[in-house]
Structure formats: structure tokens, C-alpha cells
Amino acid sequence: MFADIHTFFTTNWLGIAILILLQCLAVTVPLLLAVAYMTYADRKIWASIQLRRGPNVVGPFGLLQPMADGLKLVLKETIIPSSANGILFVIAPMIAFMTALVAWAVVPFDNGWVIADINVGILYLFAISSLGVYGIIIAGWASNSKYAFLGALRSAAQMVSYEVSIGFVLVTVLLCVGSLNLSKVVLAQSGWFWNWFWLPLLPMFVIFFISALAETNRTPFDLPMSEAELVAGFHTEYSAMTFGLFFLGEYANMILLSALGAVLFLGGWHSPIPYAPFTLVPGVIWFALKIAFLLFIFSWTKGTLPRYRYDQLMRLGWKVFLPVSLAWVVLTAAVLQFGGWLPKP
């Protein structure tokens, strides 16, 4: 009986299709829940920073607030401006949301807990995250509005600039691992928490985190939707669920980059101390805790820092991060080569 079920799910194409669908659901549903409660956590953290209470009316401690917000967005009317480009206007939020979701296919949650354990996992993540900009730029153009267009242009320039330094950060990690497979990246960091790459590659971890803030258009780099100048930036003309998709996509992207940070620099599913009782905790919980830690820093910066000026943002990306990360790539390669620490193929 059990063997029958096993052969059905591994050989029959229908069984494989069902299995893949279930795997997708097993990642997507918790992810969407995480997105919902990330908005709640965000608001609570900002509230604490500003000595307010935050959402506390809907449900106990306001815990049902994200559900109420979601319901509100679904029930509102979707307005498509008459001068907008109808098809592209609707496609744009879909692209923004989809790209944030499909990237999760290669993220390893625990040893072997990954939908697609592909050899070029890091490149896949990098490729997908570079697609996110299309949702924004198409939205800005299709809206046929000045504010939206300016927001889209700012966002495109910003994301392209900071992707360069993220690319170099990925290269340094790859040099230390010797593989592009994300599971192998995590396995290379086993042991005590000072074996994780955050310590040996500390400058790159900082650059990665700041670039992640810029990639997700978060404060202090939220120029594309700076409400003081551009109303709401690229999603000025969006309402109801079309706006909701942008919003969900933005948060899913934030969680994705935090997960990438956890995989690359914080040892993925590894426990900080490689002895019981820490090793008895399932790896997926450690992974979630690390993501939550990085997300907390995301909210913390948003509650604390003022917004950058646009030329300063570009200066930081091209004149500071690019040379520093390039130099660090060369330095890492040299140290690995001459120190004899080059990973064995």
C-alpha cells in the first residue's frame, strides 16, 4: 500500500504534478501568512519606536488587523484610469507579485527542504530579483501619470545600481563556497555561529543589507514612493487589489531578501551552537528566526532613518559600494588562493 503510494508520487506524471502543486502550496501559504503578519509586525515596531500603541482594535492585540486590511482591499473597487494603458496597467502588479513568489522555489528551508535544488540557485535568485523592476517600470508607464512615471524612473535607476553591488556580494560568497547551489552555501557554514559568513565577510554583509534596503525600495531609500514629492510614486494610480498586489509583492520581496541574507551570511538552517539542546530545534525554526531578525532590522531602519536625497543615493551605490565590493572580491580571492583555503571542487 505504502509502496504503491510512493511509486504513484514518484513515477506517475499525475502524481508528480500533484506533488509539485502541494510543494508550491506548502511554500506559498506560509509565505503569504508571513507577509500578512509582517505588515502587522512592521506597524507594531514603528508604533513602539514612536511611543504609540499601533493596531490594537481588531482581535486580541490587533492580531486580526492584517486580515481586516486584506478583506478591505479585496472588497474595494478596482479603478483603471481612462487614460491608462489597460492591459499593461493590470499586468504590472501581477509581474511585481509573481516575481516575488517564484524566487522562493530555490530557497532551502532545511537540509533537503527545497522545491528545486538546482545547481545555479544563486544565479536564479539574482535573475528573478532583477525582474522585479519590470512590474514597477511598467506600472509607472502604463499609469500615464507624471508622479507614477517619475517614481518608476527613480525605482528603475535605483534597483539597477544596487543590483551591481549585490552581484559582487554574491560573488564573494560563491568564492568561499565553491558552488552556486544554495544548499551547499548553507552546508559550507556548518559549525559555531562564528563560522557563518557574517563574520569573515562582515563588510559584505553590511553592503548586502543596505543594498537589500535599496532593492526593496525601503527607507532610507524609498525615493520611488516618497509621499512628500510623488504622492505614492509608481502606484499612485492603483487602487484595491491591484495596489494590494504591489504591497504584498514588496513585503514578499523583503522577506525573500532577508531569507537570502540568512542563507548567505547567517548559516541558513544551522543552529548557532552545534550541540544539544540547540541542535534538537528543527532547522526550519532557526531559519525563520534568522529571517525574523533581519526583518526586524528592516522595520527598525524604517522607523529610525530619514530619507536619502536622490543624488546621495546614487553616489552611495556607484562611488562607495561598487569600488568597495569590487576590492573585497579581489581581496577574498587573493586570501583564498594564497591562504590555501580555496574550496575543493
Partner 1 sequence: MILQALAFYVFAAITVASAAMVVTSRNPVYSVLFLILAFFNAAALFLLIGAEFIAMILVIVYVGAVAVLFLFVVMMLDINLTELREGFLEYFPVGALIGAVLFAELLLGVGIIGSGSTTVAALNAHGPHVAAIDNTRAIGRVLYTQYFYLFQVAGLVLLVAMIGAIVLTLRSRPGVRRQRAGEQINRTKEQAISVVKVPTRGGV
Q: Which stretch binds partner 1 (CB under 8 A): 48-56, 127-135, 269-277, 297-305?
A: 127-135
**Which residue matches cell numbers 503578519?**
37
Window 128-157: residues binding partner 1 (CB under 8 A)? 130-131, 133-134, 137-138, 141, 149, 153, 156-157
- Min dist. Cβ of residue 127 to partner 1 (A): 4
Cell representation of residue 64: 486580526
Q: Chain centroid to CA 211: how far?
A: 11
Residue type, 171: V
Contact with partner 1 (CB under 8 A) among 163, 222, 237, 250: 163
**Gap between the Cα atoms of 270 and 257, Å rounded:** 18
Is 100:256 a contact under the CB 8 Å cutoff?
yes
Which residue in the set 311, 339, 340, 344 belongs to the binding site for partner 1 (CB under 8 A)?
Answer: 311
The only residue of 20, 26, 63, 127 in contact with partner 1, by rule CB under 8 A: 127
* Of residues 64 and 153, the one with the C-beta less far from partner 1: 153
At 145 the three-state DSSP class reads coil
| Euclidean distance between CA atoms 127 and 115, whole angstroms | 17
Given a contact cutoff of 8 angstroms between Cβ atoms, the answer to whether 140 and 153 are in contact is yes
Three-state DSSP state, 230: helix
Q: Which is nearer to partner 1, 72 or 309 (CB)?
A: 309
Could you tell me the smallest distance in angstroms from the CB atom of residue 166 to partner 1?
11
321 near partner 1 (CB under 8 A): no
Chosen residue from 18, 79, 160, 199 binding partner 1 by CB under 8 A: 160
Identified binder of partner 1 from the candidate list 12, 304, 312, 337, rule CB under 8 A: 312
Binding status of residue 89 toward partner 1 by CB under 8 A: no
Query: Nearest approach, Cβ of 345 to partner 1 (angstroms)?
Result: 7
Q: In whole angstroms, how close is the CB of 172 to partner 1 at the nearest point?
A: 17
Q: Which is closer to partner 1, CB of 180 or CB of 207?
A: 180
Nearest residue to 221 via CA among 141, 157, 167: 157
Q: Binding of partner 1 at residue 333 (CB under 8 A)? A: no
Among 8, 9, 37, 126, binds partner 1 (CB under 8 A): 126
Q: Residue 338 has which C-alpha cell?
A: 594564497
The alpha carbon torsion through 89, 91, 94, 99 (nearest 10 deg) reads -120
Of 331, 339, 333, give the one whose Cα is nearest residue 203: 331
Q: Is 318 in the site for partner 1 (CB under 8 A)?
A: no
CB of 306 to partner 1, least distance (A): 16
Residues 195-234 binding partner 1 (CB under 8 A) are none
Give min distance, CB of 156 to partner 1, in A. Answer: 6
Neighbouring CB atoms inside 10 A of 93's CB total 24
Task: Please name the residues in contact with 144: beta carbons below 8 A apart, sequence gap of 6 or more.
Answer: 81, 83, 84, 85
**Whether the Cβ atoms of residue 147 and residue 129 lie closer than 8 Å to each other:** no
Asked if the bond preceding 66 is cis, omega within 30° of 0, the reply is no
Nearest CA to 320 out of 151, 212, 225, 203 is that of 203
114: which 3 cell numbers? 527545497
Question: According to the binding rule CB under 8 A, does residue 314 interact with partner 1?
Answer: no
Toward partner 1, which CB reaches closer, 130 or 301? 130
* Closest CB 187 distance from partner 1, rounded Å: 16
Altogether, the residues listed in the chain come to a count of 345
Binding site for partner 1 (CB under 8 A): 13, 88, 118-120, 123-124, 126-127, 130-131, 133-134, 137-138, 141, 149, 153, 156-157, 160, 163, 180, 311-312, 315, 345
